[in-house]
Structure 1
Amino acid sequence: MSANTMARLVRRAFPGRNPLATFGDRIEGAVLALAVVVALLAVPVAAAVGSEIYATHESRVEVEQGSRTQVNAVLVEDAPSMDGADSSEALVETTDAIAAWRTPDGLERKGVVRAPYGAETGTTLRIWVDLSGEPAEPPMTNQGAAFNAIFSALLLWGLIAGSTALLSGLVRLACMRVRLRWWQLEWELTAPDWTGR
């Protein structure tokens, strides 16, 4: 941002003793200054929320990493081919298929797992299972927890900053409409003297 742009924003926010500044200009300036202050104050709030989300996810990471294990699953029947999939299913590269696997404590299990379309019987897949040996989602990682926390913090700050910018824009638009209406009324009073009508 150039120095001229910054100076123009400061003059708009703080018209001071400018004799041409109207009440609307002062309202616009106050709302603009408030929007900037709120956006700046939202930074530590968003950071605190992100930190809290990370702390919550960190305990989830610890639980999931300790309770989920990867095992080999072998398909006991062919996975459906891509030909039978409708257009919405074709966007996903895997489908449900029946497989067998051994749990971490040695018991044999059989159930539905996700497999590539057209995978043949006997294909070995790596799947995640929980402590009971049931298929589970992969455990959350520390990187995933950090990404979620940062994304949430940025989203919160963006919502707050965007809301204040929208409020500032609406106030500016309302003040401009009032200003234009006053100019029109003043012109209607002055025009007959200037035009002789």
Structure 2
Amino acid sequence: MTAHPMSRLVRRVFPGRNPLATYGDRIEGAVLALGVAVALLAVPVAGAVGSETYTGYEARVDAEHASRTQVDAVLVEDTPEMRGHSDGTVEKTPATATWRLPDGSVHKGVVPAAYEMRSGATVRIWTDRGGEAVDPPMTHEGAVVGAFMIAFLLWSVLTGVMTLFYGVVRFLHMRIRLRWWKLEWELTAPDWTGR
């Protein structure tokens, strides 16, 4: 911000020295000051929440990596052909496959596989301790991103609520001010216009 907009912001927050400032201007300034304070104080609060969330996610990462294993699954059916255009990402479709459990027995279930794969093709899947196919475990990078997103979302919500509150106060203040101006004009117009 340049000095000019910053000085205007300070005058809006602290209109007390302005002889033309009304009671509504002072309320509007107080709400703006409160909004800025909340936005600034929300930073460490959101950081603390993000840190706690990250700690919980890290525990989840450790637990999921300890309880899940990657195995090779063999498709027992062809996967369908892809319809439409792909955006470059590898899209998956459910397919029936078999895989071996640690005790040597064979397990059969539905796994995610790429389109246009043939029966007998191998896909890497994650299994839980019972041998069931599960989603991949959360990664450390995923824990960081997830915690950051929650912290940022919390800060955005708090700041957004205060911004909306200030906008409502400003709108109501402008409506009241316009009504007062209209009333004052109706009282003084006969003196100015001679009607």
In structure 1, how many angstroms separate the alpha carbons of the residues matched to 2:104 and 2:62? 24
TM-score by length of 1: 0.92
TM-score by length of 2: 0.93
- Give the one of 109, 115, 118 matched to 2:116: 118
Where do residues 42-191 of structure 1 align in structure 2 (5 Å cutoff)?
42-82=42-82, 93-191=91-189
User: Which 4+ runs in 1 deviate beyond 6 A?
Assistant: none
Contact 2:90 2:114 in 1 (8 A): no
In structure 2, how many angstroms separate the alpha carbons of the residues matched to 1:92 and 1:72? 18
Bigger drift between 104-113 and 126-135 goes to 104-113
Contact 1:50 1:152 in 2 (8 A): yes
Contact 1:69 1:104 in 2 (8 A): no
Secondary structure of 1:20's counterpart equals coil
Contact 1:80 1:97 in 2 (8 A): no
* Post-superposition offset of 1:179: 0.5
Q: Structure 2 stretches of 5 or more lacking a match?
A: none
Q: Alpha-carbon deviations, 1:91-144, whole Å to 9, x = none?
A: 982211111111244332111111122211111101111111110100001110
Contact 2:39 2:159 in 1 (8 A): yes
Q: Which residue of 2 aligns with 1:195?
A: 193
Secondary structure of 1:16's counterpart equals helix
Paired-residue identity, %: 63
Q: Alpha-carbon deviations, 1:21-55, whole Å to 9, x = none?
A: 01111010000001111111111111111111111
Contact 1:103 1:129 in 2 (8 A): no
Secondary structure of 2:15's counterpart equals coil
Q: Structure 1 stretches of 5 or more lacking a match?
A: none
In structure 2, how many angstroms separate the alpha carbons of the residues matched to 1:105 and 1:164? 59
Aligned pair count reads 192
